[in-house]
Structure 1
């Protein structure tokens, strides 16, 4: 059986303990990051959509940093958006603030009806740099 090498960002353990999952698992040189939402430290959502998207990216970046990686190491992204017909363009205006330079990672956008009180979630897979792989 493979041992799970969990990665936790500073200061958010209660959120992950409450919902019984790891924010990321390091395995075979890759980092598999659970969906990150625009939650504040107390777990509540940012009320405004654009700020929720930004906070989701900030939370993602904290998980990546805890593993010794950055968004430049991300190879695959999945976005989940509630009401994408009305929110996709607004989210996509914010993405370049965090996305970096080409070549960009692969991306999939999924429209959903429920995200536990949130409107945006981002899930990624990153190829860890050699120094952080293990």
Structure 2
């Protein structure tokens, strides 16, 4: 039996996903699998200030979660990618804590990377959506 995929696309973000041919999120079997979100402005450019870039990435993520009927409280697993973790890790952790909520927190895998297409931070999540 094929798994049914239902795309979740928030307002004001359609062009980016069509251009690159991927979905911002897929709902399947009660879960939401969200593609990596970056701190991109409306024109697609990176927010230059790291803390503001992380906040914007969370805003973009939260828009997708809301479009699917959920919130960050529904997130069970996160993957965070960061360029130059030696210089960015502490700032990213401080800002992310603003969105994390109360314990128990979601699982986290943090990965240092060399390239994020002009961005310094990306967050990818899996959420168990409320019915």
Runs of 5+ consecutive residues of structure 1 not aligned to the other structure: none
Superposition misfits of 4+ residues, deviation over 3 angstroms: none
Q: Alignment length, in residue pairs?
A: 130
C-alpha separation in 2, matches of 1:18 and 1:43 = 11
C-alpha separation in 2, matches of 1:106 and 1:93 = 17
Other-structure match for 2:120:
119
C-alpha separation in 1, matches of 2:3 and 2:94 = 40
Other-structure match for 1:100:
101
C-alpha separation in 2, matches of 1:88 and 1:62 = 24
Other-structure match for 2:53:
52
Q: Does 1:82 align with 2:83?
A: yes
Tell me the secondary structure at the aligned position of residue 88 of structure 1: helix
| CA root-mean-square deviation | 0.7
Q: Does 1:72 align with 2:73?
A: yes
Other-structure match for 2:36:
35
Runs of 5+ consecutive residues of structure 2 not aligned to the other structure: none
TM-score (norm. length: structure 2): 0.97
Tell me the secondary structure at the aligned position of residue 37 of structure 2: strand
